[in-house]
Structure 1
Amino acid sequence: MTIKLIRGQTRDIGFPVKRLLPDATIRRIGPFVFFDHMGPAFFTPGGHAGDVRPHPHIGLATVTYLFSGAMMHRDSLGSVQRIVPGDINWMTAGRGIVHSERMPEDIREQGIAVQGLQMWVALPEKDEEIAPAFHHYPADELPRIELTGVRLHVLAGRVFDQTSPVVCHSPTLYVAAWLELGAMLDIPATAAAYAERGLYVISGGVVVNGQPIEAGTLLVLEASEDIVIKAGADSILMLLGGDALEKAPSLWWNFVSTSKERLEAAKLAWANQDASLFPPVPGESEWIPLPDH
Structure 2
Amino acid sequence: MTRTVLQQFPAQRDDIGDLITRRPLPGPGIEQLDPFLLLNHHGPQTYPPNNQGLPFGPHPHRGFETVAFILKGELSHLDSGGHESIIGAGGVQWMTAGSGLVHAELSPQSFKREGGPLEILQLWVNLPGRLKMTPPAYVGLQGADIATITEPLAEVRLISGEYVSDGHGTRRGPVESLTGLCLMTVHLQPGARLSLPAPLGENVFLYVVDGEAEIAGTPLQSHHLIKLSDTHDTVTVEATGPATLLYGHGAPLSEPVASYGPFVMNTREEIQQAFADYQAGKFGHIAS
Q: Same fold (TM over 0.5)?
A: yes
**Structure 2 counterpart of 1:57, which letter?**
H
Give the superposition deviation at 1:263: 0.5
* 1:237 corresponds to which of 241, 245, 256: 245
1:206 aligned to 196, 205, 213, which one? 213
What do you get for the CA RMSD once the two structures are aligned?
A: 1.9
Give secondary structure in 1 for the equivalent of 2:256: coil
What do the CA deviations read for 1:100-119 (whole angstroms, capped 9, x no partner)? 11112322343321102101
Letter in 1 for 2:189: E
Aligned partner (choices 90, 95, 112) of residue 91 of structure 1: 95
1:42 and 1:254 map into 2 onto residues whose CA distance is: 28
Post-superposition CA distance 1:155-182 (Å, at most 9, x none):
1211222211312121212111111112
- The one of 246, 251, 256 aligned to 1:248: 256
Residue 273 of structure 2 corresponds to residue 265 of structure 1: yes
Tell me which of 277, 282, 285 is aligned to 1:280: 285
Cα deviation, 1:1-21, whole Å, max 9, x if unaligned, reads: 323211121112331211111
Report the equivalent of 2:167. Answer: none
The CA distance in 1 between the partners of 2:154 and 2:218, in whole Å, is 19
> Who is 1:184 aligned against?
193
Normalising to structure 1: TM-score of the pair? 0.88
Question: Which runs of 5 or more structure 2 residues have no equivalent in the other structure?
Answer: 165-169
What amino acid is aligned across from residue 227 of structure 2 in structure 1? V
Deviations 1:16-59 (A, max 9, x none): 21111123433333422111111112334444242311000000
Does residue 104 in structure 1 map to residue 108 in structure 2? yes
1:290 matched residue in structure 2: none
1:125-155 Cα distance to aligned partner (Å, 9 max, x none):
1010112122223333322211110100111
Q: Are residues 188 and 129 of structure 1, via their aligned partners in 2, closer, same or farther at CA, if it must alter by over 3 Å? A: closer
- Greater strand share, structure number: 2
> How far is the alpha carbon of 1:251 from its aligned partner?
2.0
Alignment of 1:16-165 (within 5 A): 16-160=20-164, 161-165=170-174
Shift of 1:193: 5.4
Contact 2:50 2:114 in 1 (8 A): no
Larger mean CA deviation between 20-29 and 247-256 belongs to 20-29
Residue pair 2:162, 2:182 contacting (<8 A) in 1 also: yes
Aligned to 1:217: 224
Q: Which amino acid aligns with 1:274?
A: A
Q: Which amino acid aligns with 1:12?
A: D
SS, match of residue 245 in structure 1: coil
The runs of 5 or more residues in structure 1 that have no matched partner are 286-293
> How far did residue 253 of structure 1 move?
0.8
Preserved CA contact (<8 Å) 2:5 2:218: no
Residues 264, 24 of structure 1: CA spacing in aligned structure 2 closer, same or farther, 3 A cutoff?
Answer: farther
The superposition leaves residues 185-219 of structure 1 with CA deviations (integer Å, 9 ceiling, x where unpaired) of 13364xx5561102211111112210111211110
Look up the equivalent residue of 2:190 and give its one-letter code.
L
Question: Does 1:12 find its partner at 2:45?
Answer: no
Letter in 1 for 2:255: K
2:6 corresponds to 1:3: yes
Separation in 2, partners of 1:222, 1:10: 27
Shift of 1:64: 0.8
Give the TM-score normalised by the residue count of structure 2: 0.89
* Structure 1 range deviating more: 105-114 or 194-203: 105-114
Runs of 4+, deviation exceeding 6 Å:
none
- Number of residue pairs matched by the alignment: 278
